[in-house]
Structure 1
Amino acid sequence: MRTRQTPANTRKPPSWDRDAACARLTDPEIMFPGNEPQAIAAAREVCAGCPVQRACLRNVITSEGARRGGARHGIVAGLTGHERWLVYRTLKRRGQLR
Structure 2
Amino acid sequence: MNTATLTRDDINWRLRGQCLYEDPDVMHPVDSDKLGEKYAKKVCAGCPVAQQCLQESVDLRDWHGIRAGLTGNERRNLAEGNAQRCIRCRDLFVPRVDTQVRCRPCARVRDGNRKAKS
Identity between Structure 1 and Structure 2 (%): 36
Q: TM-score, normalised by structure 2?
A: 0.56
> Structure 1 or 2: larger helix share?
1
**1:48 counterpart = 2:45:** yes
Unaligned 5+ runs, structure 1: 6-12, 66-71, 92-98
The 5 A counterparts of 1:26-41 are: 27-35=23-31, 36-41=33-38
Report runs of 4+ in structure 1 exceeding 6 Å deviation: none
TM-score, scaled relative to structure 1: 0.66
Which position in structure 2 is the counterpart of 1:61? 58
TM alignment of 1:1-98, pairs within 5 A? 14-25=11-22, 27-35=23-31, 36-64=33-61, 72-90=63-81
Distance 2:27 2:79 in 1: 20
Q: Which consecutive residues of structure 2, in runs of 5 or more, have no partner in the other structure?
A: 4-9, 83-118
Take 1:14 and 1:23, find their aligned partners in 2: how far apart are those partners?
15
Structure showing greater relative contact order (alpha-carbon pairs closer than 8 Å, 6 or more residues apart): 1
